[in-house]
Structure 1
Amino acid sequence: MNLDDHSHQAARARVTLHDVAREAGVSKSTVSRMLDERLPKSDSATAQRVREIALRLGYMRDVSAAALRRGSTGMIGVIVPRLTDTVMAMLYEALAKAAARAGQFTIVATTDDEPDADRRAAEALLRRGVDGLILATAREGSDFTYELAARGVRYVLALRHNGSSLAAVGDDQLGGYLATRHLIDLGHRDIAVLTGPGYATSARGRVAGYHQAMQQAGLSVRANLVVPSTFSIESGAEAAAHLLALPQRPSAIFAINDNTAIGALSTLVQHGMAVPGEISVVGYNDIPIVRRLPTPLTTVRVPFDQIAAAALDLFMAEDVTDADRVRAVAPTLIPRATTARLQE
């Protein structure tokens, strides 16, 4: 038997609402109402009998047909730089779970954080019939989101924002402030920051929080302690090597994310630096591996589940006030073993 024979046989064997209604002796609309998981579950005798008959006959709700009747597919496209980045993988998993709770399904495309790849990824997802997009790839200066809006494509930004679109983010300035304030409270004054890429508002917000904490404490920022980086382990290692080559080394490093912190730690260890005895390090995001490092990393925890829930809420909302267009979720400082009081 070929595949067409199988599919024809499956189509003939598919149990419909009509089949369940005929067996139960009720109308099709009654069966539809009793089996709709989005409605409050009825415990009436009729509802119980309908569910028992549906189970016995092997009825399965045709989600795609129901979505088409509503004018939607129930699919949401998610665009992230890469899934090899633990932060993006955690965000996508959180989005997938939040979508499932809302009766939606997510599919993902990656861009490797290349500017024009956003458009290609979006087109690929839209051709597959997604109802809209959640993007974790917003870049400063890009007009891509304006193109989406002009085409009437529903979209929400996550983790990064552009200041005008609907967005669910962490409060990055608060997180950068908490990380730097923690080091200041431990007595550190020469605190370096590994800045991350300038096109990402998440990185810029954390650097702004660093400057806020330093200014509030009356501490000047040495220009050579503000070191450019990306979000990668390699850039963290290179930035730490730059800091170690300075005539006056910092006593602490705030890395813009956990990957750059891990890279910095690798360089410090290779150079025989004791962490936190000689230098303290703080990361950002609290990815799972950092608590399992030989010296567990002090970091700032980002509540990805809350960001995902806020993104889905914005995506599903029919009307959003101007004051609610950007939802920022508060992060939490997680002190561990890579930070200690400065020894004078």
Structure 2
Amino acid sequence: MKSDRPNPTVTSRVTILDVARAAGVSKSSVSRFLDERMPKSDSETARRVRQIAVELGYVRDVSASSLRRGKTGMVGVIVPRLTDTVMAMLYEALAHAATRSGQFTIVATTEDEPGADRRAADLLLRRGVDGLILSTAREGDTLTDELVDRGVPFVLALRTDGKCRSSIGDDALGGYLATRHLIDLGHRRIGLIAGPRHASSARGRVSGYENAMAEAGLEIRPEWIKPSTFGIESGADAARKLMLIPDRPTAIFAVNDNTAIGAMSALLRLGLSVPNDVSLVGYNDIPIVSHLPTPLTSVKIPFDQIATAAFELLAAETVSSNDRIRVAVPSLIPRGSTKPRKE
């Protein structure tokens, strides 16, 4: 027998009205039975409504419910993982910024897997957050378009799609500063551990590297650029590959401190000295890098400034095209992992 329940397509959004029609009850009844703030009814009708809502894939529309009940003061934050020190530092800065603005944050993680940010967003929206801050933007992802269509307030942080409200560091400048530092020390063969292509932050730092090399009139050999994740093991693997090149680099710029730490470990295991044999620069200036046996030169990101700007953008009703993407200026912190090179 053919079911008379609606069969929404993947792209359509199931509404309270859809659930009401399928359950044969009023819209107000559905709203009452599905309102998590109300005492949970255990009546047969309530149980049936909740079951039908699950079957249809109903997700509460936070933008509509917010108009009815006002703000909750909660802001959802989506990060790849909190075991990544960079993301933990970002979340801590966002939590502090939230407190200063009379709000508080809750977090969801995605392991940086494609599509996981969409599930995390739905989870947070069901919790009733007033808006989202996402550090998971990926090249080609359509989540931001979906959030715009649904009227969900959101801001991108650390990564950007180039069009939505974003609070980021100037990654191109940071990559330039790191590479220029090595050039000024006399290095001409500079390897790059480039990070994942899907992240705008990595692409910006690669662009900065290329700009500095071109400005100095230096050749960029394709074999000197190794892709990676933002993980330690990936950095170690990239460094080993760079050291197999016959005319190997005398310096390496890793676009993330974790990959730089992995690179340092691999170089030491190969019997090479940092910085006597290979100078090394990382990015983000996480706390541990200044306490390594050889303190790591790194590019520092002003996380507090990025977090504050993210909340300002989230709160603003409108922003001009010139103010849609806020860019914080990084700075280079020289330490013991880099030294002058005499060719």
Counterpart of 1:209?
208
CA distance in 2, matches of 1:125, 1:308: 19
CA distance in 1, matches of 2:134, 2:297: 28
Counterpart of 1:154?
153
CA distance in 2, matches of 1:128, 1:140: 27
**C-alpha deviation, 1:75, in angstroms:** 0.4
Q: Spell out the pairing of 1:231-246 with structure 2 (5 A cutoff).
A: 231-246=230-245
Please list the CA deviations of residues 100-120 of structure 1 after superposition, one character each: whole Å capped at 9, or x if unmatched: 000001000000001111111
Supply the AA of the counterpart residue of 1:334. Answer: I
CA distance in 2, matches of 1:282, 1:225: 15
Counterpart of 2:258?
259
SS at structure 1 position matched to 2:133: strand
How many residues are matched?
Answer: 278
2:212 matched to 1:199? no
Task: Give the gaps of 5 or more residues in structure 1.
Answer: 1-66
SS at structure 2 position matched to 1:283: strand
Please list the CA deviations of residues 276-299 of structure 1 after superposition, one character each: whole Å capped at 9, or x if unmatched: 111100000000000000000000
2:281 matched to 1:282? yes
The 1:68–1:146 alpha-carbon spacing in structure 2 relative to 1, beyond 3 Å, is closer
Supply the AA of the counterpart residue of 1:73. Answer: T
Q: Spell out the pairing of 1:138-153 with structure 2 (5 A cutoff).
A: 138-153=137-152
CA distance in 1, matches of 2:69, 2:143: 28
Counterpart of 1:170?
169
SS at structure 2 position matched to 1:178: helix
Q: Spell out the pairing of 1:42-191 with structure 2 (5 A cutoff).
A: 71-191=70-190
Pair member with larger Rg: 1
Please list the CA deviations of residues 180-222 of structure 1 after superposition, one character each: whole Å capped at 9, or x if unmatched: 0000000000000001000000000000000000000011101
Supply the AA of the counterpart residue of 1:88. Answer: M
Counterpart of 2:26?
none
What's the % identity of the aligned pairs? 66
**C-alpha deviation, 1:68, in angstroms:** 9.0
CA distance in 2, matches of 1:117, 1:244: 36
Supply the AA of the counterpart residue of 1:301. Answer: K
Q: Spell out the pairing of 1:14-25 with structure 2 (5 A cutoff).
A: none
Counterpart of 2:323?
324
**C-alpha deviation, 1:327, in angstroms:** 0.5
CA distance in 2, matches of 1:245, 1:181: 24
CA distance in 2, matches of 1:68, 1:249: 61
Task: Give the gaps of 5 or more residues in structure 2.
Answer: 1-65
Supply the AA of the counterpart residue of 2:264. Answer: L
Supply the AA of the counterpart residue of 2:312. Answer: D
Counterpart of 2:223?
224
**C-alpha deviation, 1:319, in angstroms:** 1.4
Counterpart of 1:343?
342
CA distance in 2, matches of 1:141, 1:288: 32
Name segments (4+ residues, structure 1) moved above 3 Å.
Answer: 67-70
What is the TM-score with the length of structure 2 in the denominator? 0.80
SS at structure 1 position matched to 2:105: strand
CA distance in 1, matches of 2:200, 2:67: 37
Supply the AA of the counterpart residue of 2:202. Answer: A
Counterpart of 2:291?
292
CA distance in 2, matches of 1:181, 1:223: 19
CA distance in 2, matches of 1:287, 1:203: 16
CA distance in 2, matches of 1:122, 1:271: 44
**C-alpha deviation, 1:179, in angstroms:** 0.1
Task: Please tell me the root mean square deviation across aligned C-alpha atoms, in Å.
Answer: 1.1
Please list the CA deviations of residues 61-112 of structure 1 after superposition, one character each: whole Å capped at 9, or x if unmatched: xxxxxx9997110100000000000000000000000010000010000000
SS at structure 1 position matched to 2:214: helix
Supply the AA of the counterpart residue of 2:274. Answer: V
Supply the AA of the counterpart residue of 1:276. Answer: P
**C-alpha deviation, 1:343, in angstroms:** 2.8
SS at structure 1 position matched to 2:284: coil
Counterpart of 1:250?
249
CA distance in 1, matches of 2:117, 2:318: 26
Please list the CA deviations of residues 13-55 of structure 1 after superposition, one character each: whole Å capped at 9, or x if unmatched: xxxxxxxxxxxxxxxxxxxxxxxxxxxxxxxxxxxxxxxxxxx
**C-alpha deviation, 1:128, in angstroms:** 0.5
2:307 matched to 1:308? yes
CA distance in 1, matches of 2:275, 2:337: 5
Supply the AA of the counterpart residue of 1:151. Answer: R
CA distance in 1, matches of 2:88, 2:159: 15
